[in-house]
Amino acid sequence: MEKLNISRLKEIVGEKNVKDDPADLYIYGTDASVHQAMPWAVVRPENAGQVQEIMRYANSEKIPVIPRGSGSGMCGQTVPVNGGIILDMKRMNKILEINLEDVYCRVEPGVIDDDLNKALKPYNVFFPPTPASSIIATIGGEIANNASGVRSVKYGAARDSLLGVKLVLASGDMISFGTTTRVEASGYQIERIIAGSEGTLGVIVEATLKFVPLPTIRCLGMTNFNKLEEAGDSISEIMASGCTPSMLELVDNVAIKAINNALKLNLPDVDAILIFEADGMVKEAVDFEITKIKDICETHGGFGTELSFDEKERERIYTGRKKLFPSLSKYKELMPSTSLADDMTVPYSKMAETTRKIHEIAKQNNIIMSAYGHCGSGCMHTKILMDTTKSESWKAAEKAVAQIYEYVNSVGGTTSAEHGIGISKAPAFKIEKAASLELMRGIKKAFDPNNILNPGKLQDASDDWLNATKLRYTVSDKCE
Amino acid sequence: MNNKNSNRMVEISGIIAGAIGPGKVLTDKDILDKYSRDETADLSLLPDILVRARDTSDVSAVLKICNDNNIPVTPRGAGSGVTGGALAARGGVILSLELLNKIIEIDCENMVAVVEPGVITGDIRRAALTMGLLYPPDPASLDICSIGGNVAENAGGPMAVKYGTTKDYIIGLEFVLPDGSVITTGGKIVKNATGYNLIGMLLGSEGTLAVITKIFLRLVPAPGASKDILIPFDTIDEAIDAVGAILRNRIVPSALEFMEEDAIKLVSKFFSGNIPFPDAGAHLLIKIDGSSDDSILSDMEHISEIINVDPEKIIAAESDIQRDKLWKARRSIREAIHLEDPAFMAEDCVVPRAAIPAFVKELKKFFEIRGLKSIMFGHAGDGNVHVDVLRSGRGYDEWKMLQPSLKEGIYKMAISMGGTITGEHGIGFSRKDYLHLALSCDEIELLKRIKKAFDPKMILNPGKIFSDDHKEPDDSPPC
């Protein structure tokens, strides 16, 4: 910290855009994960030129720089494990161009997802990756984590909507890759590795994104299942049936109970619920798909199906799923939901089995875990509900996390579907990618020879997430 | 080849034969000669040794031996590339993957195909279709190109406008690094936010980073119905305006192909005038697909409302025979050009879609001034313009001398209009001297450092993409 020259930073971005007050640093030292660490300063650049100057300074002094959007990451991606400068990108929030003729837009990284979609809406188009956190998530963060959400089953993740990036490297050099066009084969596709690189390869200062027509017709459905396996069989059959649902969500019994406790929705206390949506421009086509999905669910034992084209009704049906995330902490008193084993991907034929396995592992370790997710793309989310004040809960969580990813690996899945790796999923990631860690380190070095960009993450993260940083929770019985 | 090199190559082929078996290692002159060419016009680069690998362990063994001995290795699929990507620019070993040609599995439940790199792309398509699934990328060379080559070049095709290119379908790879180590990344899973996207790195890397030995492809439900139409226009401007109107009205066809006047004339000559609308200024070929006939019908009605063409003039096809008739002209362009003169130049630039008419007209002018005939056609929906230039009576040597300035002219025009130098065919050997037109010095340096992270001894497909890959990244002169 002693080597940080605050006045140099103030020269670059102006006095009021540098923060080194402990209260501010504390806020910027955590995100939506369990981790916490103090940065040395927070710097808020306004344009790419300032980012270049900051990087040149930091690179010459070998000071860590951690690019950050809204800090909504779930795994500690922006937690500064080695201190350094937090580069808050939220002031770079301009939508630079919306080009309808060539169907792309150019944005700065600090643009909030919902704001972009608001700007696109008058043209009847939308940017589809939209994670659940779209009200705060920035486009830069979404690209860096290759984020996605409920509609990705039909429209893909951030990487799939990314046409090009402008990037400031650790050296301060600015490069741009990709085009405004759809097809390209000129050299290595750098934009594709930037998506998912978690701020370790460069600072995104501009992104070119494609958008797609906003469907005029949507129909949402919800079906109950007495057995998880019936829901699982329905998922595989729906996906192979020729339907392209715009949403296909699985909600397990733990989540159903939590939603009922929190929102008093009186959802049936069943083993699993599937929520599905079809969208399009032609009523007949949407009808055709939604009926097919409903029929498949009911053949496999789905019952009490609700269906609606009406916007208000659709909102009502979706309420529980929408508020699932905050509801989870209401499952049981003093059992807050922690972001651990928060996401994974398995082949969709394994969704039901994975859910069972998660419950089994939770039981073995005396904790509670909920499983839900975007099952049309094999994405499963869990949360661990536990008494965070007790160190034994954390020990149990540590064991459960390891067991879950061992299972995910054994069925050909991967450690993260859409939340990224950061710190808390790094041990599992390093086991999964053991054969390619050296190659990844080589790639990191090609971009960032001095290892100043978000160091200590991904392949360079600790093998022990529990002790990699302080925890954001107070553990009362911990012997320090 | 001097004697010293020749002895060395005899020694190396002996070591490789000892490791993987003699039947897979070939050095006969006739065979090497065949492998000195691909579909690139007028280019031949002779390898010293041909190895036909049969499995991943063969690939691993060959790479390790060559890496230890600093011998160049050029991976090769079906040899259908048009930029010399699969030719041995610096001699050494051609590592053919033709015999790794198994469709290992088509998993309907997870909608994934697992294939070896030597499988012909069209065979994957057909195998998937029998199960009601579709592998959408459809390069024109579908029936002769291999899937490994498609990944290495990030191949596209007409259906890219709706379904995207190869990059949108690769969800897992097994590949071998130059040191022989085998890495698997991804698998039967669609969503993946797990660290660096190595799949993305290998896509379009043209065999310069690793050798792909197994591919996991995402399949989609085959559309239940489809319909094709051909629309003639008086001018290219009207045709491209119509493309804009279609996309703006939120109709996403699964193909949107255009041909300009000279292309139509040439093909018409090839078929003795027996093609639809031989005198039109431009053709637009549109395919619409969907889950049911209803949705297609509604899209088709919508199209005829928004474009300014006499509905009588639109030809529609629903049966396979009718379809083949409609596509006959578009599919036979290359054959027609070849018949005219096999020594032609083929480029595949990309420009923003709306810039296609200006690009076509400006380029036509550029060639006319030089007394050259050009043929243009391509994927209008994604701005991918194929630019074929005919020799137009020039002598062979003169034609050779002329090409660099023509290429530079074409590329500069594409870039000045906001496009790039290649959409589907890659940089390879024949465009490596022009990469600096598309990328800055800093950008090229970064690519070279990445190349080095994968291939520290620079043995994999040397002499491609970069004009000076034999130099250390940091030694290169500043641009």
Class of domain B3-96: alpha beta
3-state helix, strand, coil in chain B (%, to 5): 40, 20, 40
DSSP secondary structure string for all residues of B327-360: HHHHHTHHHHHHHH-S--EEEEEE--GGGHHHHH
pLDDT in tens, A9-33: 999 999 999 999 999 999 999 999 9
Which candidate from B177, B252, B295 shows the least CB-CB separation from A439? B177
**Residue B454, both tokens:** 């994968």
Domain residues of chain B, as ranges?
A: 3-96, 103-221, 225-329, 341-432, 439-475
Write out the H or E segment, with its range, that includes residue A409. helix A391-410
Of A389, A381, A386, A382, which Cα lies nearest the Cα of A366? A386
Instruction: Output DSSP code: residue B305.
Output: H
- Does the CB of B99 have a partner CB in chain A at under 8 Å? no
Fold annotation for B103-221: 3.30.465
Residue B401: count other Cβ atoms within 10 Å of its Cβ: 11
Please name the residues in contact with B64: beta carbons below 8 A apart, sequence gap of 6 or more.
B179, B180
**B379, exposed or middle or buried, with CB in 10 Å at 0-12, 13-18, 19+?**
buried
Q: Looking at the predicted structure, is the pLDDT value of residue A181 above 70? A: no
Res A242: pLDDT: 78
| Below-70 pLDDT ranges, chain B | 1-2, 470-479
Instruction: Flag if B189 and A347 touch (Cβ within 8 Å).
Output: yes
3-state helix, strand, coil in chain A (%, to 5): 40, 20, 40
Q: Which positions in chain B touch A147 (Cβ < 8 Å)?
A: 193
**Residue A330, both tokens:** 């209401």
Q: Looking at the predicted structure, is the pLDDT value of residue A182 above 70? A: no
- Select A332-471's CATH number: 3.30.70.2740, 3.40.50.720, 3.40.50.1820, 2.60.120.10: 3.30.70.2740
> How confident is residue A480, by pLDDT bands cut at 50, 70 and 90?
very low
User: What is the rounded CA–CA span in Å between residue A123 and residue B199?
Assistant: 34
Domain residues of chain A, as ranges?
A: 1-214, 217-328, 332-471
* pLDDT (average), residues A114-120: 98
Judged by DSSP in three states, A159 sits in helix
Res B471: pLDDT: 64
Instruction: Output DSSP code: residue A350.
Output: G
Instruction: Flag if A348 and B352 touch (Cβ within 8 Å).
Output: no
User: What is the rounded CA–CA span in Å between residue A395 and residue A385?
Assistant: 13
* pLDDT (average), residues A80-92: 97
Please name the residues in contact with A210: beta carbons below 8 A apart, sequence gap of 6 or more.
A103, A104, A161, A163, A182
Q: Looking at the predicted structure, is the pLDDT value of residue A179 above 80? A: no
CATH architecture of B225-329: 2-Layer Sandwich (3.30)
> How confident is residue A186, by pLDDT bands cut at 50, 70 and 90?
low
Of B246, B250, B163, which Cα lies nearest the Cα of A216? B250
Choose the mutation target among B189, B296, B298, B421 for the interface with A, i.e. most A CBs under 10 Å.
B189
- Does the CB of B197 have a partner CB in chain A at under 8 Å? yes
User: What is the rounded CA–CA span in Å between residue B97 and residue A370?
Assistant: 46
Rounded to the nearest angstrom, the minimum Cα separation between B71 and chain A is 21
The three-state DSSP-derived secondary structure of A71-97 is CCCCCCCCCCCCCCEEEEHHHCCCEEE
Q: Which positions in chain A touch B454 (Cβ < 8 Å)?
A: 439, 442
The yes-or-no answer to whether A1-214 and A217-328 have a common fold is no
Q: How many CB pairs under 8 A join A and B?
A: 283
Instruction: Flag if B192 and A195 touch (Cβ within 8 Å).
Output: no
CATH architecture of A1-214: 2-Layer Sandwich (3.30)
Going by CATH, does the domain composed of B341-432 fall within 3.30.70.2740? yes
Q: For residue A426, report the phi and psi dihedrals to the nearest 5 degrees.
A: -60, -40
Q: Which positions in chain A touch B183 (Cβ < 8 Å)?
A: 435-436, 439
The residues pairing with A212 across neighbouring beta strands, listed in sequence order, are A126
Fold annotation for A217-328: Alpha-Beta Plaits (3.30.70)
The yes-or-no answer to whether B3-96 and B225-329 have a common fold is no
pLDDT in tens, A132-167: 899 999 999 999 999 998 998 899 999 999 999 999
Which candidate from B164, B248, B427 shows the least CB-CB separation from A187? B427
Residue in the block written with tokens 């329905």: A234
